[in-house]
Every structure is written in C-alpha cells, then in structure tokens.
Structure 1
C-alpha cells in the first residue's frame, strides 16, 4: 500500500494539492459513519484512499448519525448512541447539509456513554486522549457528517492507517450510481475500486471497464475479533483487544485481500458477488 498523508487536514486541501495524482492503489467510497462497525472500518483500512461520500441523500436511522455500542463483558448487551439530526431540506437533504439538532447535549451524551461502556478498559486512556478532538467538533461545527467523519478518522489514526481522506463533494463525478463511483475512483488516481458485498449486488461493470479500473470485492472475516463486526461499533474490539491486536487483524485482511488469498476477489472488467 503506497504511503499517503493521514493528516487531519480537510479533504479539500488534500485535493487541491494533488493536481495530477499518481495512478494506483485501492479506493473505498463510503458515507461518514459515527464510530463505524469493524467491517466498515476494515474496508476503509484496506484502501489507500477513503472518499467520504457526503453529497448523497442523508438516511435517518442509519449509521450516518448513530452507532450501536456493545458492553465490554457481554457484546449482546447493546445500546444505540445517536446524534439527533435536523434535515433542512427534508428527505432531499444531502449528508453534508444535515445539522445536529442539539450539539451540546449530543457532546455530553457521547462522552458519557462511551465512558460508561469502555472506561474500564485498559485501552481507554489512549482512546480518550484522541476522543477529545472528536468531542471538540460538536462545538466547532453544526454538521453531523463532520463529527461522524472525525470519529472514523480517530479510529483509523489510532490503528496506523497510512491512507488519505477526501470528500466526494470536492471531486468531479457524473450522475448514475456506478458511473459516479468509477469517476470518483479515477479522480483520486486509484486503479481499483474496493467494494463491499452489498454494493456488488448493484454495481454495473461497464463504467469501470471503460475507465480501465479493476473492482475488488471486500468481505471481512466473521470469527475471533471479527465476531459481531457487522453489528456493533469497532470500539468494542478496540477496547477489548487493544490497538496493536486489532491493527494486526486489519493488516492481515488487507494483505490477503491484495494477494487474492481470501474471500475478497479481484474482478477485472466486471463485478461478481463474493460468495
């Protein structure tokens, strides 16, 4: 995976500094999620670029403004952490336009619930240090998406991800679901689009083939640290196993992915579901 800049600078700055991006690397395109699930985090970690999909329609009661916490000692004990969000344009509101309804209360609730669920972990102090930057976003912006993006950025940074974050609203792309994804992949100079198994069900192959791109299907393991990885926040395994253990689990998936030795499979000129 080629080294890129994981700094906390805004995506628009990163885009403006890369007038002729080098070809190559994996690109993941995903909406900002609040403290995302491990399966989502793993897909982003495996990519060289994460394009934050912030200019599509906001979806209520989705991971764009909430996350499911799981108790350290019992992952079946769960509780939703939600950032109440107002949609200025109703159902037509784009993700980047959604605003927090009560940022002060949401900040307090987020800090309190995370402490309650994970404060007993020996890995909590290091996480708490980085969490302060996420909590500060509740005061520095009214946008739900920026808080969610900051929460994911924190986890990626803690795990040593060397990639680069950009936003779809800063990049050129045509309409059409698959065409848009292909255009965004081209815009950052990546050669491969990293797609979740859900996306593989609707992905059209022609825009990627025309652009000379490959599509790589991503599917995370389901055992050991990955148990409940598609159901609860990645904070559960992070606080349970620690940064080094979780980072190695993510790197292992990334290595198998690029070698083509795991379930994820490379598709050149087409897309097929991962079995």
Structure 2
C-alpha cells in the first residue's frame, strides 16, 4: 500500500453520505476513516437527509447525546431504528425507478445486528463505493498506530501510508496548519464540490444535498455519471 499510495483523504465516517462524500473517495488512492476522534451530536456521523413529499427530511440514528465518546465508541444497542429507517425509505421511494433493484442494498444496510456506529458506517460506505464502481483502497486510523494532535497526527498518518498528496474537505481550512504540510513535503489540496448536475427525483423541487440512496434509487447504474462521469474530460486532461 505504501509504494502505490499517492493521493489520500482522511475523514470521519458518515451515515449513508451524500454524493460529494463519494466524489472525494473517488478522487483518492486511499481513503482513511478517522473515527477515533470525538463524537459530535446532530452531525453527519449519525444522520442524513432523504427526499420526501415535504422536501428533504432528516433520517437519524438514535445514538444519544453523550459527547464524552469517540465516534468509534458509540454503541446503539436498540436495533429497532433499522427497520424504521428502511420502512421510511421504502415508502418515500416506492415510485422510484430503481426501488426494486435497490432491495439487496437495503437488505445489506438494515438486515444486520451491528451496534457500533463506526463499524456500521464504514461497512455501508465500503459497500456503496463498490456499487458505484469505486476502486479506492480503505483503511482505519485506529489500526495505523499514529498519535499526536490535530495537524500533527494527520501528517503522521499520511507519512505512515506514503502519501504525497492530501485531499481535504473544504471545512478543514479553519483548523489545518498549512505550513506543516509544506515542511512535510505533502501537497495539500482542498476538495471543491462542484454544482453537480440534477437528475429526476421523486419529488420537487430538486435538492442535491441528500443521501446517496436518493441518487441510486432514481438513477440506478447511471449514478456515477451524476457524481464524476459528467466531467470525465476533466479526468482525462
């Protein structure tokens, strides 16, 4: 992995993320889940949005309000949320073109007994990436044995996997110590999410900021086109 790895992203796992999350995964050679950091409530870690007749609606895993935990320490012993979420999804997407083809995916997401939020999210993201045809490698920061704080630890993780380029989420501009990347000889690039092209959703007006399930239900195998395929010339340049 060290010899071939060049572009790397490091990010917390999210619940059934939006398409931009998978665009970032698609951009890199190695995507590292960063779940041994503090859990934040009312965040993407345990919730996301889906389209409904009344517009985008939160779909939330009942993970509790305790902030004295790392993301990887969050447990959800009550499993009833899984059937509830599946029922809500199936009801709202019952007229979607690819609802029937999506049943195996819903089985994968909701017919399991996983109680760890981190394990659940990571497993789902890997599977969804495979469905989208993404060939990026995955790793978990917990298994890399790198300590330190903030930017120091990020660089330590990147050095441990032989990264030469770090692609960061745009919000990280507020806390990343950019000179440390220069000193380490690692190129720092902030991901800029484009205005993704619209597709036909079950309800209008169109909203791009919803779970990837919305795109898969409505576009099926054409889903990658609406994330990166539409700008294929950019990748070939």
TM-score by length of 2: 0.86
**Partner residue in 2 for 1:8:** none
Q: Distance in 1 between matches of 2:104 and 2:75?
A: 26
**Partner residue in 2 for 1:205:** 178
Deviations 1:144-165 (A, max 9, x none): 1211222222321111000111
Alpha carbons of structure 1 residues 258 and 203: separation in structure 2 relative to 1, 3 Å = farther
- Range that drifts further, 167-176 or 62-71: 167-176
Pick aligned residue for 2:110 from 135, 140, 151: 135
Deviations 1:151-195 (A, max 9, x none): 222321111000111111111323221122222222223221111
For the 8 Å contact 1:237–1:246, the answer to whether it is kept is no
Deviations 1:192-218 (A, max 9, x none): 111121112322123322322111221
Q: Distance in 2 between matches of 1:146 and 1:93?
A: 15
Pick aligned residue for 2:42 from 50, 61, 78: 61
CA-atom RMSD in angstroms: 2.4
Q: Distance in 2 between matches of 1:97 and 1:200?
A: 27
Shift of 1:135: 1.8
Unaligned runs of 5+ in 1: 1-17, 260-275
Alpha carbons of structure 1 residues 171 and 232: separation in structure 2 relative to 1, 3 Å = same
Q: Distance in 2 between matches of 1:254 and 1:53?
A: 29
Is residue 27 from structure 1 mapped to residue 3 from structure 2 by the alignment? no
Helix, strand or coil: the match of 1:50? strand
**Partner residue in 2 for 1:215:** 188
**Partner residue in 2 for 1:95:** 71
Helix, strand or coil: the match of 1:131? helix
Shift of 1:114: 1.6
For the 8 Å contact 2:197–2:226, the answer to whether it is kept is no
For the 8 Å contact 1:47–1:163, the answer to whether it is kept is yes
**Partner residue in 2 for 1:36:** 17
Q: After the TM superposition, list the runs of 4 or more consecutive aligned residues in structure 1 that deviate by more than 4 angstroms.
A: 251-255
Q: Distance in 1 between matches of 2:193 and 2:236?
A: 13
For the 8 Å contact 1:195–1:216, the answer to whether it is kept is yes
**Partner residue in 2 for 1:113:** 88
Unaligned runs of 5+ in 2: 200-205
Deviations 1:37-69 (A, max 9, x none): 122221122222111111001111111111111
Alpha carbons of structure 1 residues 248 and 63: separation in structure 2 relative to 1, 3 Å = closer
**Partner residue in 1 for 2:203:** none
